[in-house]
Structure 1
Amino acid sequence: MHLLEVRSLTKVFPGVVAVDNVDLDIAPGEIVALLGQNGAGKSTLIQVLSGLYPFGTYSGDIIFAGAPLRCRSVADAEAAGVAFLAQEVNVAPDLTVAEGLFLNNEPSRFGLVDAQFRMARAKLALKNFGVDIDPALPLGDLDLATQQLVLIVRALSKNARLLILDEPTAALTDRETVRLFERMRALSARGVAIIFVSHRLAEVFEISNRIVIMRDGRISGAFRTSETSRDAVVDQMIGATPTHRHANRKPRTGGTALEAHDLSVFDASGREVANRLALAIGRGEILGLFGLLGSGVNEATMALFGAWRGAVSGSISIDGVPAKIASPVDAVGHGVGLIAQDRRDGLSGEHSIYDNAILANLDELSRYGFVDAVKARRKVMDLFDRLKIKAGDVDMTVGTLSGGNQQKVQVVRWLAAGAKILLLIDPTRGVDVGARAEIKRIWTELADAGCAILLVSSDAEEIVEICDRAVVLCNGRIAGTIDGADLSETRLLKLAAGV
């Protein structure tokens, strides 16, 4: 007998079929690991199951405990017995730990919230999970990892029959992960089914009973965990047609542009997320930095730009000369530009292309404290034409542009500022196929002109397709470097997963 039955589930976004005719069965007490590369459709699938995408926005049937599951919200799903822990740590900072644990599920007495009973239940729930914190503390006073633990306790303490965990160990220590797995096994023994989404194959093989793999929105394979291997799982994730590096790309050699020695990065709680990294990017080179969620690739890149808010140690050299980069202003002064993962972090959507483009170069474009409008507009318009931005003119508001054209505006900004080193974090995230191809063409042209590019991506195909070589991180450490023609999705994923 199955607890969950999914039949012909399809979820479509404009221009994209995210989940395509998926069938899935899960038995009571079964721990199913859901795997797939970035964009495979697994996040969309679990968001449908958890009520984030309400009934009516997808096609197909979901049967839960023998009855149709047609949730209009997350609250509906929780009421039906489906608890979901999202990947992003998102808490209400002004609530206490106890209030956060029982949000929308407050114990009541005579129609009023029973605060004393809530506090007692919170203490018990935290104790059962081995979390030693005061439930009266505001959630905003806790570090990121502890906030994640509170959210895990909240999910585990519900009377759920199906628990969905999306990358729950990303911010946890090994000891905290052990506690989580102990609780998952205890819930499984009570008949609670669990969907466990993770990029960490060691964890998947430790905790799951079955592995289900998605690729291109479909279920591409399923294995009993005890009857398969990591190599077989990785091969199934990639498929039969892995991407190969473009053979006609001949990187220009022009000396080392940026070099980092013993770079270590720590989060707000003091936990090390990147350990003594050694990185070197040559002029005219596109270096890939690849890692799965929690590998430290994004944090290390933000540290190179001086934008990481936690502690950083190690040294950085620009063109062979030691450089102190303690802030983005320092980085820009050394000719380093950053295109962030979230375009909202790098652009002002309410301002024009022109305004956004000159922000990093106001000193050079100004005379006597005022922007030289003629000089500035000429430079921006030249770059606007060169990058083929699809907009009426440079005075159009950035927020009205497509995702791909917004990314081009960020490139215009750094070219206008004369940046010779570009750090790119998932630069094609959320843009369509045509825009991706155009943006990749731009990276190649910039490298051919002598720019040094660090391409940080969670998309193995993108790394293989465009990079000259790649450094792979696993759990904050360098797992290996892959050069030239040896680049492949299989090698990248196996190194990143610790296979």
Structure 2
Amino acid sequence: MFADLGGAQFLMTSTILEMRDITKTFPGVKALSNVNLRVEEGEIHAVVGENGAGKSTLMKVLSGVYASGTYDGAIVYRGEECHFKGIHDSEHKGIVIIHQELALVPMLSIAENIFLGNEHARYGVIDWNANETRTSALLKKVGLKEDPKTLITNIGVGKQQLVEIAKALSKEVKLLILDEPTASLSERDSQALLDLLLEFKRQGITSILISHKLNEVNRVADKVTIIRDGRTIETLTKQDISEDRIITSMVGRSLDDRYPPREPKIGEVVLQVKNWSVYHPIHAERQVIKGIDINVRKGEVVGIAGLMGAGRTEFAMSLFGRSYGRRISGEVLLKGKPIDVSSVSKAVEQGIAYVTEDRKTYGLNLIDHIKHNITLANLGGVSRHSVIDDLRELAVANEYKAKTNIRSSSVYQMTGNLSGGNQQKVVLSKWLFANPEVLILDEPTRGIDVGAKYEIYTIIARLASEGKAIIVISSEMPELLGITDRIYVMNEGRIVGEMAASDASQEKIMRAIVRGEGKAS
């Protein structure tokens, strides 16, 4: 909309959404306290804050997950005060939320997922041709060329995220909310999704973006609202947005150094893996890991870099009790002696621990409390004559809660109710109590904020100083460069580069990936 004032035209923006003095309380916890959010039509508005700051709670209030009457304050959408009783009410108005955990059914087709519960039908019979024709048009809008009949399980995570967006478009979305949309995506897929958001902006669609990746926020956001401890701190306009300013507002202090200082004290070789090969668990002829040789020393943090699909997680899981793959061959040595890692229990007994990249599915029991999760990998450490000593277990849980700074009301809080950063600390505590010689960390800071990341890095540095041998798998190259001593580079199931972190750079790592250069010392 333009206004003509004295011959000059000025762009007039209209407010599509106002959330006024939103307060949401759970038993014993005030999650939101008088939070205000104002979003202009056609903009990309980022909402950032530490884990547990209240971002997702605010979006659940907006989308009707938390129904009107369960919170205080007002939602004004397109000039009308709204009282959403459920998610269907908000979607009817054109407000659609895409959660971090994708809500797709793997064994249904793309078309079936997009129109699930909202199918085109004639006389009570689903018109599959109409659904698939409409799906093709929606997929084209998000840049996908897949057949609508393709099963979700047969496409990658990046494409699944785009299917979720196509699903939102099918509901004639006016305000699109994306909660950590790039958390599980490769760099290339992340850039493609951000480009799509910018294209939606040109088409007049308004977006709210929740992200911990501040470089992405910096790239696409027109405004940024920062929430800390359930309160609105400030809203920055485009010219004021900078990573340093956001971090200071998020954590209440300046983080001059993103990574804790450490002085490595590297000793003898603890772990050696020789000629490790793994085949796909379903496609028996497909070799996933191809003759890998690596070693890790006492007190050393070794990084494994690579693009999505390079085989990093498959390597780690196969090493940890053969929990991935078939026809696994090769040798594992601990302090020079061959060890048996043919099952998870044997790997744990030998002193190897693996912190999975998918903490919610494989790392935690979300419907149990913190205390039980922390002791789960070492029940013998809290038992007498095979009977768990409840007081001993409580003492251990409280000890590791303090050591890793888990923020919770008590160790009896349900793990599923914790923020992502605190859930990750519970997973770390579980394996630290098992007292491993070798700790494999797979994407240890995925989906957590910059403040919680620093705490995880501090824990890693402390473990290295205690003599643990640590492997860190990460898709964030600055993270690997900041916390490791040495980096292996993987591509297509092979080690294609090795370099000291002090000599490494993002360019060198990418060059090794793209060109498959040999090992560089």
Which TM class, normalised by the smaller chain length?
Answer: 0.5 to 0.7
Partner of 1:17: 30
Deviation by residue 1:387-419 (Cα, 9 ceiling, x = unmatched): 53799xxxxxxxxxx9825999xxxxxxxxxxx
Give yes or no for the alignment of 1:378 onto 2:379.
no
CA contact (8 A) 1:243 1:464 kept: no
CA contact (8 A) 1:152 1:168 kept: no
CA contact (8 A) 2:178 2:208 kept: yes
- Is the alpha carbon distance of 1:387 and 1:180 closer, same or farther for their aligned partners in structure 2, counting shifts above 3 Å? closer
Of 131, 136, 152, 1:118 maps to 131
Partner of 1:319: 335
Partner of 1:396: none
Cα distance, 1:316 vs. partner?
Answer: 6.1
Partner of 2:480: 479
Cα distance, 1:59 vs. partner?
Answer: 1.5
Partner of 2:233: 220
Partner of 2:320: 305
Give yes or no for the alignment of 1:132 onto 2:145.
yes
Partner of 1:6: 19
Using the alignment, how far apart are the partners of 1:472 and 1:88 within structure 2? 23
Give yes or no for the alignment of 1:232 onto 2:225.
no
CA contact (8 A) 1:51 1:72 kept: yes
Give yes or no for the alignment of 1:204 onto 2:217.
yes
Cα distance, 1:31 vs. partner?
Answer: 0.3
Of 453, 456, 461, 1:463 maps to 456
Q: Which amino acid aligns with 1:429?
A: Q
- Is the alpha carbon distance of 1:56 and 1:309 closer, same or farther for their aligned partners in structure 2, counting shifts above 3 Å? farther
Partner of 1:399: none
Using the alignment, how far apart are the partners of 1:313 and 1:481 within structure 2? 33
Of 411, 414, 417, 1:404 maps to 411
**Alignment partner of 1:429: what SS?**
helix
Partner of 1:417: none
Using the alignment, how far apart are the partners of 1:313 and 1:202 within structure 2? 41
1:41-60 mapped onto 2 (5 Å cutoff): 41-60=54-73
- Is the alpha carbon distance of 1:177 and 1:158 closer, same or farther for their aligned partners in structure 2, counting shifts above 3 Å? farther
Give yes or no for the alignment of 1:151 onto 2:164.
yes
Using the alignment, how far apart are the partners of 2:278 and 2:50 within structure 1? 26
CA contact (8 A) 2:25 2:32 kept: yes
Identity between Structure 1 and Structure 2 (%): 31
Of 196, 202, 207, 1:194 maps to 207
CA contact (8 A) 1:243 1:461 kept: no
Larger mean CA deviation between 339-348 and 185-194 belongs to: 339-348
Deviation by residue 1:91-150 (Cα, 9 ceiling, x = unmatched): 123432112112233233345433221111111111232212111233344343332221
Using the alignment, how far apart are the partners of 2:238 and 2:277 within structure 1? 35
CA contact (8 A) 1:214 1:237 kept: yes
- Is the alpha carbon distance of 1:177 and 1:339 closer, same or farther for their aligned partners in structure 2, counting shifts above 3 Å? closer
Larger mean CA deviation between 464-473 and 115-124 belongs to: 464-473
Of 312, 337, 350, 1:334 maps to 350
**Alignment partner of 1:48: what SS?**
helix
CA contact (8 A) 1:389 1:405 kept: no
Using the alignment, how far apart are the partners of 2:144 and 2:32 within structure 1? 37
Partner of 1:415: none
Partner of 2:406: none
**Alignment partner of 1:388: what SS?**
helix
Q: Which amino acid aligns with 1:7?
A: R
Partner of 2:174: 161
- Is the alpha carbon distance of 1:279 and 1:199 closer, same or farther for their aligned partners in structure 2, counting shifts above 3 Å? farther
Of 374, 382, 388, 2:395 maps to 388
Partner of 2:423: 429
CA contact (8 A) 1:473 1:480 kept: no
- Is the alpha carbon distance of 1:263 and 1:100 closer, same or farther for their aligned partners in structure 2, counting shifts above 3 Å? same
Q: Which amino acid aligns with 1:463?
A: I
Q: Which amino acid aligns with 1:149?
A: L
Give yes or no for the alignment of 1:74 onto 2:87.
yes
1:95-106 mapped onto 2 (5 Å cutoff): 95-106=108-119
Cα distance, 1:298 vs. partner?
Answer: 8.5
- Is the alpha carbon distance of 1:101 and 1:482 closer, same or farther for their aligned partners in structure 2, counting shifts above 3 Å? closer
Cα distance, 1:38 vs. partner?
Answer: 1.9
Q: Which amino acid aligns with 1:52?
A: V
- Is the alpha carbon distance of 1:229 and 1:359 closer, same or farther for their aligned partners in structure 2, counting shifts above 3 Å? closer
Q: Which amino acid aligns with 1:305?
A: F
CA contact (8 A) 2:375 2:393 kept: no
Partner of 1:394: none
Using the alignment, how far apart are the partners of 1:322 and 1:235 within structure 2? 49
Using the alignment, how far apart are the partners of 1:220 and 1:130 within structure 2? 37
What is the TM-score of this pair, normalised by structure 2? 0.64
Deviation by residue 1:354-395 (Cα, 9 ceiling, x = unmatched): 9x9899789xx9xxxxxxxxx97436556852753799xxxx
Cα distance, 1:61 vs. partner?
Answer: 0.8
Using the alignment, how far apart are the partners of 1:357 and 1:85 within structure 2? 34
Q: Which runs of 5+ in 1 are unaligned?
A: 366-374, 392-401, 409-424, 484-494
Partner of 2:497: none
**Alignment partner of 1:186: what SS?**
helix
CA contact (8 A) 2:274 2:294 kept: yes
CA RMSD of aligned residues (A): 5.3
**Alignment partner of 2:480: what SS?**
strand
Of 170, 174, 177, 2:183 maps to 170
Using the alignment, how far apart are the partners of 1:82 and 1:314 within structure 2? 53
- Is the alpha carbon distance of 1:345 and 1:198 closer, same or farther for their aligned partners in structure 2, counting shifts above 3 Å? closer
Cα distance, 1:230 vs. partner?
Answer: 2.3
Equivalences, count = 427
Using the alignment, how far apart are the partners of 1:326 and 1:85 within structure 2? 39
Using the alignment, how far apart are the partners of 1:83 and 1:226 within structure 2? 28
Q: Which amino acid aligns with 1:43?
A: S
Give yes or no for the alignment of 1:40 onto 2:53.
yes
Q: Which amino acid aligns with 2:475?
A: N
Cα distance, 1:83 vs. partner?
Answer: 0.9
- Is the alpha carbon distance of 1:170 and 1:115 closer, same or farther for their aligned partners in structure 2, counting shifts above 3 Å? same
Using the alignment, how far apart are the partners of 1:209 and 1:265 within structure 2? 46
Q: Which runs of 5+ in 2 are unaligned?
A: 1-13, 399-408, 465-470, 485-504, 507-521
Partner of 1:490: none
Q: Which amino acid aligns with 1:385?
A: R
Using the alignment, how far apart are the partners of 1:12 and 1:480 within structure 2? 41
